[in-house]
Amino acid sequence: MIYYKDEHVLIRGLDKSDAAVFAAEECAQGWHTEEAKFISRLKDVKDGIAISFVAEYDGFPAGYVNIYPNAPWGSFGGMGYTEIIDFGVLEKYRNRGIGSKLMDVAEKIASEYSDTVYLAVGLYRGYGSAQRMYVKRGYIPDGKGAWYGEELCEPYGTYRIDDEFTLYLSKKLK
């Protein structure tokens, strides 16, 4: 399915061939990515619990995002809200508006399921551009503080600063 198209960007559904491309490209950037992550998203799509998108830039896979209507986990889990999960744009394709277009599509689809969308963003510098983009798009922190995986961090606790160390943000869509 095609969700968006312009002169350079095409946003379509994730497919199996994307898994190897994104895993290889992200590993080349120094990220710790495996094809299994994308295969898992495809299973969730097949099971009807997720919608996954890929942005191509001039025909090459450049970014992706997944939405989970009525997500059961995280700060807003079980409240009937849609969660945006695992949003990424390959470094060599950044600053071309691809991320904004992916988020536009994700938010539009999310609005068909709930009036609020939420996401978790990592707290180390590798997530800096995502943090800024979410604030510019109107996302606000949940007010509960940092999370590690599925657990809210306790004051003075010791946590590893990795992809599981996050802050939840939400945005009213309607």
* Helix%, strand%, coil% for the chain, nearest 5: 30, 35, 35
What are the tens digits of pLDDT across the range 138-164?
A: 999 999 999 999 999 999 999 999 999
State the pairing for strand pair 82-89/60-68: antiparallel
At residue 160, the pLDDT reads 97
Instruction: Identify which has the larger pLDDT, 13 or 70.
Output: 13
* Domains with residue ranges and CATH for the chain: 2-172 (3.40.630.30)
Q: What's this model's pTM, rounded to 2 decimal places?
A: 0.93
pLDDT of res. 174? 84
What local confidence, expressed as pLDDT, does residue 164 receive?
Answer: 96
- Evaluate if residue 32 carries a pLDDT over 90: no
Predicted pLDDT at 55: 98
The strand ranges marked E within the chain are 2-5, 9-13, 51-57, 60-68, 82-89, 116-122, 140-148, 151-152, 165-172
| pLDDT for the residue 31 | 87
Cα separation, 133 vs 146, whole angstroms: 19
171: which 2 tokens?
A: 């945005």
pLDDT mean over 41-55 = 97
Higher pLDDT, 126 or 171: 171
- Rounded CA gap, 12 and 118, in Å? 22
- Give me the mean pLDDT over the 40-55 stretch: 97
Per-residue model confidence (pLDDT) at position 80: 96
Contact 53/15 with Cβ under 8 angstroms? no
Tell me what pLDDT residue 120 has: 98
Q: What is the mean pLDDT of the chain?
A: 96
